[in-house]
Structure 1
């Protein structure tokens, strides 16, 4: 049997003593947690280890002896340490010794409960105790098949990480503490602490309490009956800014709650939300300062009306071109004139609506820029809503054209089934055979001919306004993608991966390299998660979801005249 001994590198220069750790019999390995030094009393050592076991639920015990001949050159000490195995009885007794400053080590494991004591083969694995203690081991996104070597190594690593993480109480004793026990581990020089962190912890209590009261007041106002009336609740549900504000309100309630994070993923989620909020507000303040500087809002308001007039003129020229002979196509004159004048009247109404709002545009933009202090995402959502309102006429054109086109396509499909002696069974949702008389076939032929010759005119208007609608939708989609990126990107996890990569450990075998020539020894390093795995593991949920339509399904909907939206909100059905 080959025994793996995980030895902390911080103990390589420790004075001679006994090894304290935990046995992992299922993995045929042992984890050394600390070195206990002289002088000590065995009864007090057993009492201390039993207290640590009750506090950590880890079977901490004495694993063996550690000899550093640099500090102790007497041969009697080595023999004394070897004889300690009779006091701290165990099936295996480790004996690890170091020869001065050289790299020659001696490592052995002695079977004491056998009739003839024998030595087991030992592989010594160095590990950085501080990194293992502070890191979080992540399971693989695609678990390995059971029975494979990778799965066994991942299980062994998980056991080692869990043992070190649960032994936090053992690491709270440093060499400056007055007591009968003196240990060497990664915090022997003193427990790590930060004055800034402690001050922030003390100040976070009152701040969270005040923020909770304010959020409770805001939530009560949002749940009031006045805001839940039908017109208002319908409008709030369709505005992206209201959805984003509600999303951020949930984040603030989560951060200000008195309930502490119980697991590492919950703690990372809170940290990612906090950093996302800080970045969002910082970018919003930068945008607000840029807009208010040099009267940029006034210049933007002055250029908005001419741009709207220019867009209206271009649309009117486009409709005049469609009402003629576009690209030399022969159109139905009567239907072409009716559709053209109908859409021209809508453009006239839209221009009147814009000029009616022109005196208030600068004030509206001023308040929109002020809303950027709530975050860049709120400003982008308001910009998306303003774009939707300014291009509402294009949306109406698209809906009119799509409904009219779909009506003719469905009529042609139904009349085509009439010619073949078929009909659509609404109850059974299938096509059944049917016999028609002569009058029905005659009327169907007339209607089919009329719809077929009117279809090119309607299809042309539908094609043009669909392209215009898609242009607006692409701009809105880019804004929503940027908002979702800020909402869902785990910035804190990415910064942690960049600055302290060992904190996010992957459940894959450690990168090991030969360290010592005297015995089978390996020096281990933690393999961090890749950036893609960090994003996939800690990605924050967002309030919008995207349809999973394929390109073939999208082209089919466009061909049949179904309304297409690039995104939809959760709980809503797509038309």
Structure 2
């Protein structure tokens, strides 16, 4: 049988004393957490362990004794040996270290005085009570020391490799139980050598706990700041609860504006960060930290954008450029319509329908340019106030930019809707009339195609309509194709903006910072390497932490958020474009089942 002892590296040179730790239930393993130095009073040690059990919810106990030779402590071994009769135990470890050797000697005493030896010593020890262990080779055990960095294990979070392990209700594995034991024993590490107490211990913080005046001031200042944010959010919810703002037209418009959606999203983030409830677990803490860092970075980028916009009168330059650009776009669209009203690419179009559609779209362009010129004196002032939205974050500025692009290209959207509706009407009309020729019809109630008999008048009218729609289809399809391509260019540009906003909102900056600066904080597993293997001593292994991959960090800690991705697949999207159904880019993932 193999006995594994997880031993902290910070205790390798500790003074002689008692080993404090825990026996892992269901495993033949022990986790050493600290060493209590001599001199001590056994009653004070029992009282201290009882207090630690209530504070840590960990079954802490005295695992055994630790002997480190030192001048003036020649009788320490016999004193520590007698302590096994004072502290209740099932197994008692006697670990000692000789000067000049890196390996340890270890013996284990059973609850009835049975002595179990390490097989690696190559010698047989006597068994005082004549009892044999149930393992191989009588009372001998293979003892392995696993040295670990207590600070890294204390601060790390061991992630499951598979989802089945995470969702299973079975007992945790030996390695996970070891990590949980160290992380839940935080109260045990508060006692350091500078405390004037009856006990002196050695652990990863025994040299003095780290502290920062800046961190303490931030903790003290975060309480009134969170109260202020909570009050401001309550006022904002009261404003949003006004009856006139909850009418259906206003709710419909606000749900389609990217700025309003982003404002609601950031409000939820502020509620999460400013919540007085303490984080209940690792995932809750990481979510709050990622949201806070994302909000901080967003605000910083927004302030940088403001400092760039309002320097050297760039707002005025943009305003002076906007009207000429709008005129240029209108001129290009007019030339495009003139080209379509002629013989585009040598195609023979229906002259009457071509003239009607061309004049109809030209009139829309004329209306839109007149509106832009009417608003031109106020554009600079509008842009000046709109640019201040960047003080709420770069995501707000990008959302406002997306809405401005949507408003400036509204005429293109109208052209696309007109062309798509007309094209879709002809496609479905041709499909229905084609079923008429084959003696079929669409059953609306049963959602299927059934057989049907038609008379001569119905067949004559159907043939006439089919011929008209078929010969008018190329002209309609050409206009639909041109304006659909223009609309897709606008949607692509808005999609890039929305992707940028989504990236800032959801990217786990805090978790990625931990992965880069302190990779041991997010552990995927561990690896072992042989530390020393001296003759007559147990095997010593060093446990090192394997950090999780960066892609796993992004996938695991990504903040759920809305997205501009269409709810349909690429195949369904192409099918909609072919039959002329409208593509609505404002459908978000929040309306579908999120992964």
- The answer as to 2:348 corresponding to 1:330 is yes
Would the aligned equivalents of 1:34 and 1:185 in 2 still touch at CA under 8 Å?
A: yes
Larger CA deviation: 557-566 vs 544-553? 544-553
Worse overlay, 405-414 or 207-216: 207-216
Residue 120 of structure 2 is matched in structure 1 by none
Pick from 518, 523, 529: which aligns with 2:542? 523
Contact 1:70 1:101 in 2 (8 A): no
SS of the residue aligned with 1:432?
strand
Count of residues paired in the alignment: 566
- Which position in structure 2 is the counterpart of 1:563? 582
CA distance in 1, matches of 2:25, 2:561: 45
CA distance in 1, matches of 2:32, 2:188: 12
Give the deviation of 1:375 after TM superposition. 0.6
| C-alpha contact (below 8 Å) 1:3/1:123 kept by paired residues | yes
Kindly state the Cα deviation for residue 264 of structure 1 after the two structures are TM-superposed.
Answer: 1.8
Distance in 2 separating the partners of 1:29 and 1:181:
26
Is 1:437 paired with 2:437?
A: no
User: 2-side partners of 1:354 and 1:310: how far apart?
Assistant: 12
1:97-108 matches, cutoff 5 A: 97-108=96-107
SS of the residue corresponding to residue 226 of structure 1 reads helix
* Distance change (3 Å), C-alpha of 1:361 and 1:146: closer
CA shift for structure 1 position 77: 2.5
Say whether 1:182 aligns with 2:229: no
Q: How much does 1:501 deviate? A: 1.3
Superposition map of 1:535-574 within 5 A: 535-544=554-563, 546-569=565-588
Match of 1:512 in 2: 528
| 1:416 Cα deviation after fit | 0.8
Within 1, Cα distance between the matches of 2:88 and 2:224? Answer: 53
- Superposed CA offset, 1:114-165 (max 9, x none): 5436342111000111111122222235446999xxx99x722210111111
1:130 is the counterpart of 2:157: no
Q: CA deviation at 1:289?
A: 0.9
Match for residue 196 of structure 1 among 211, 214, 225: 214
In 2: Cα distance, 1:342 partner to 1:333 partner: 14
2:4–2:144 CA contact under 8 A, matched in 1: yes
Could you say which residue in structure 2 is the equivalent of 1:116? Answer: 130
CA distance in 1, matches of 2:369, 2:591: 32
Alignment partner of 1:172 is 2:193: no
Residues 347-390 of structure 1: CA deviation (Å, up to 9, x unaligned)? 11111111111111111111111111111100000000000000
Q: Which moved more, 1:373-382 or 1:546-555?
A: 546-555
Partner of 2:430: 412
| 1:318 equivalenced with 2:310 (yes/no) | no
Question: Does the 8 A contact of 1:172 with 1:191 survive in 2?
Answer: yes
Q: Are 1:212 and 2:233 an aligned pair?
A: no
State the partner residue of 2:305: 287
Deviation, 1:408, is: 0.5
Instruction: Report deviation, 1:112.
Output: 4.3
Deviation per residue, 1:502-561 (Å, 9 max, x gap):
11122x2x1211111222110111111211111111111113363353332221111111
Cα RMSD of the aligned pairs, angstroms, is 2.0
Residues 26 and 258 of structure 1: CA distance in aligned 2, closer, same or farther (over 3 Å):
same
Alignment TM-score, normalising by the size of structure 2: 0.91
CA distance in 1, matches of 2:583, 2:453: 37
Verify the 8 A CA contact 1:109 1:121 in the aligned structure 2. Answer: no
Distance 1:398 1:358 in 2: 26
Q: Provide the C-alpha distance between the structure 2 equivalents of 1:553 and 1:384, rounded to a whole number of angstroms.
A: 25
After superposition, residues 373-392 of structure 1 pair within 5 angstroms as 373-392=391-410
Q: How does 1:94-493 map to 2 (within 5 A)?
A: 94-113=93-112, 114=114, 115-116=129-130, 118-143=139-164, 155-493=173-511
Give the 3-state SS of the residue equivalent to 1:106 in structure 2.
strand
* Distance in 1 of aligned mates of 2:304 and 2:383: 16
- Describe the SS at the equivalent of 2:20: strand
Query: Cα distance, 1:71 vs. partner?
Result: 5.5
Unaligned runs of 5+ in 1: none
Alpha-carbon distance between aligned partners in 2 of 1:291 and 1:145, rounded to the nearest angstrom: 49
Does structure 1 residue 40 correspond to structure 2 residue 43?
A: no
CA distance in 1, matches of 2:512, 2:309: 30
Stretch deviating more after TM superposition (388-397 or 78-87):
78-87
CA distance in 1: counterparts of 2:71 and 2:347, whole angstroms? 100
Contact 2:6 2:30 in 1 (8 A): yes
Could you tell me whether the CA contact under 8 Å between 2:567 and 2:589 is conserved in 1?
Answer: no
CA distance in 1, matches of 2:18, 2:106: 14
Q: Could you say which residue in structure 2 is the equivalent of 1:91?
A: 90
Stretches (4+) displaced over 4 A: 70-73, 144-147, 570-573
- Once the two structures are overlaid, the 10-residue window that deviates more, 339-348 or 242-251, is 242-251
> Cα distance 1:90–1:140, how it changes in 2: closer, same or farther (>3 A)?
same
Distance 1:235 1:145, change over 3 A: closer
Instruction: List per-residue Cα deviations over 1:444-478 (Å, max 9, x = no partner).
Output: 11111111111111111110000000000000000
* Contact map agreement 1:16 1:72 (CA 8 A) in 2: no
> How far apart in 1 are the matches of 2:530 and 2:244?
72
Q: Which residue of 1 aligns with 2:11?
A: 11
Per-residue CA deviations over 1:383-406 (Å, capped at 9, x if unaligned) read: 000000000000001111111111
Q: Tell me, in whole angstroms, the C-alpha distance in 1 between the residues paired with 2:243 and 2:72.
A: 81
On the 8 A contact 1:516/1:522 being kept in 2, the answer is: yes
